[in-house]
Structure 1
Amino acid sequence: MVVNDINQSKDVYNAIADPTRRELLRILANSKELPLYEITPHFKMGRTAVSKHLAILKEANLVTARKVGRETRYRLNAAPLQEIQDWVSFYENFWNESFLKLKQILEEQDMKPDVSLDFTFATTVEKVWNALTDSNVLAQWIWSNDFKAEVGHKFQFRAEPSEWWDGIVDCEVLTIDEPNSISYTWASAGETTTVVWTITKEANNTVRLRLDQSGFSEATKAREGAIEGAKYGWTSMADKLKTILA
């Protein structure tokens, strides 16, 4: 890409960053061509201010202008928006693939969580989300880790090893819907499950944090106390989280 192309792309992104200019594009998209005096009434600003916004769109080649007598008439030129569309489509496909991956995993696990727990905290959604996504805070109530809130990031939780367990949990971030939910795989001791955290703001100024863990093998489910042991472990961790949030 040549320098001029790069500058033009930058102008386009800058031009549509302003909500007033996005509204101008919408208005022009619904009309073949409009003079300034017909555009101005749509905004709580004067003709001069509207004219300046149109000039920025014109510099980005998103709007064309032509003189008709003493007035200037403006028309939308949507061609430069194709790059924006391509950029958005890339990330749309990225998210669709991530959610499809989670959907496939859950379908393989019959969509029914093996462990479902609800915890309530007298705090804010933002603080709970931070506790789920900040590596340092996670270390305070789960275990030490190298977590990053990035879809596809592979990380580990590292607990104190014992004679029957190496203390390592291998994980991969599957989905992030800030600040509502996050999910990742949870692989340890030959077992791979999926952990989904969901945050809900309650009416009484509290926050409900739901844990769903799915995918335990039939052999694990058959072992007496295996699922109850997982519930006990998460509940103990949630007690630590409650102290941190308080």
Structure 2
Amino acid sequence: MLNEKGQVRDVYDAVADPTRRKILQMLTDVEELPLYEITVHFQMGRTAVSKHLAILKEADLVVARKVGRETRYRLNAKPLKEIQDWVSYYEGFWKERMFKLNQLLEEQNMKPDVSLDFQFTSSVEKVWHALTDSDMLAKWIWNNDFKAEVGHKFQFRAEPSEWWDGIVDCEVLNIDEPNAITYTWASAGETTTVTWTLTKNADDTVQLKLDQSGFSEETKARQGAIEGATYAWTEMGNKLGTVLA
């Protein structure tokens, strides 16, 4: 329905006011109510309540009918499905985030499958930049489209081989600048979690710790798999030292 400006009243705008939400709640429990029975529940006059009902009518949330000199109102809940669908989408979004957070916490409570420490004489800020800048990451890991934003999905892209497509799918899970960053690391059917942690030492050097967790039992049982991952990260860490220098 059009309002006085010739515009369709938005259902979200209509339910934004607590008075109008209360009116909808009242109409939920009955077939219909006259204006005077609605008004007695509010500390405002009939004119003010009528204006709220007019807004609900414009959004097609209530239907009015005349019974003699009296106007009676009933609920039309169908437009509320738009809000339900919108809320359901974000409910799914947060369920997914909470699942990933719980997964992250569980992995943090377990001993990492790969754990390495690197020492650098560069500042914490410079090391953090190397961990979170796409161009810098390309110099010591692989080409990428990384952004330091929680929830950002990105890829590392290495040179493919006959046994690997060279793609690692990732998603940023946590950022604590300039102390730690965590992202998923999914490749060749295996999804793990990589966490980088920075600590400034008393002698002004920086300790960079790598933890990778979540390898499947099948992978951990495969001879040389964890050792191979450890070797690869060691090479990358050493290359980072060269880049920083």
Give the TM interval when normalised to the shorter protein: 0.5 to 0.7
When the two structures are superposed, what TM-score results if normalisation uses the length of structure 2? 0.59
**Residue 184 of structure 1: SS of its match in structure 2?**
strand
Q: Give the 3 Å change call, closer, same or farther, for CA 109–121 of structure 1 in structure 2.
A: closer
- After TM superposition, the structure 1 = structure 2 runs for residues 56-205 of structure 1, keeping only pairs within 5 Å, are 101-107=100-106, 111-205=110-204
Q: For residues 99 and 200 of structure 1, what CA distance do their matches in structure 2 show? A: 27
CA deviations on 1:19-45 (whole Å, 9 max, x unpaired) are: xxxxxxxxxxxxxxxxxxxxxxxxxxx
**Residue 102 of structure 1: SS of its match in structure 2?**
helix
1:119 touches 1:238 (CA, 8 Å); kept in 2?
Answer: yes
Q: Give the 3 Å change call, closer, same or farther, for CA 103–124 of structure 1 in structure 2.
A: farther
**Residue 172 of structure 2: SS of its match in structure 1?**
strand
Unaligned segments of structure 1, at least 5 residues: 1-93
Identity rate, percent:
78
Q: For residues 105 and 171 of structure 2, what CA distance do their matches in structure 1 show? A: 15
Q: For residues 111 and 178 of structure 1, what CA distance do their matches in structure 2 show? A: 23
CA deviations on 1:220-239 (whole Å, 9 max, x unpaired) are: 00011100100100000011
Give the CA deviation at 1:105. Answer: 3.2
Q: For residues 116 and 101 of structure 2, what CA distance do their matches in structure 1 show? A: 20
**Residue 79 (structure 1) aligns with:** none
State which drifts further: 166-175 or 99-108.
99-108
Give the CA deviation at 1:112. Answer: 1.9
Give the CA deviation at 1:107. Answer: 1.3
Which amino acid is 1:217 matched to? S
**Residue 235 (structure 1) aligns with:** 234
Q: Give the 3 Å change call, closer, same or farther, for CA 178–98 of structure 1 in structure 2.
A: farther
1:175 touches 1:184 (CA, 8 Å); kept in 2?
Answer: yes
Aligned pair count reads 152
Task: Note the aligned Cα RMSD (angstroms).
Answer: 2.1
1:133 touches 1:148 (CA, 8 Å); kept in 2?
Answer: yes
1:114 touches 1:213 (CA, 8 Å); kept in 2?
Answer: yes
Give the CA deviation at 1:205. Answer: 1.5
Runs of 4+ in 1 over 4 A off after TM superposition: 97-100
When the two structures are superposed, what TM-score results if normalisation uses the length of structure 1? 0.59
Give the CA deviation at 1:197. Answer: 0.3
Give the CA deviation at 1:104. Answer: 2.6
**Residue 100 of structure 2: SS of its match in structure 1?**
helix
Give the CA deviation at 1:111. Answer: 2.1
1:98 touches 1:175 (CA, 8 Å); kept in 2?
Answer: no
Unaligned segments of structure 2, at least 5 residues: 1-92
Q: Give the 3 Å change call, closer, same or farther, for CA 123–189 of structure 1 in structure 2.
A: same
Q: For residues 99 and 207 of structure 1, what CA distance do their matches in structure 2 show? A: 32
Q: Give the 3 Å change call, closer, same or farther, for CA 137–215 of structure 1 in structure 2.
A: same
- After TM superposition, the structure 1 = structure 2 runs for residues 217-236 of structure 1, keeping only pairs within 5 Å, are 217-236=216-235
Q: Give the 3 Å change call, closer, same or farther, for CA 98–120 of structure 1 in structure 2.
A: farther
CA deviations on 1:60-98 (whole Å, 9 max, x unpaired) are: xxxxxxxxxxxxxxxxxxxxxxxxxxxxxxxxxx99x96
**Residue 224 of structure 1: SS of its match in structure 2?**
coil
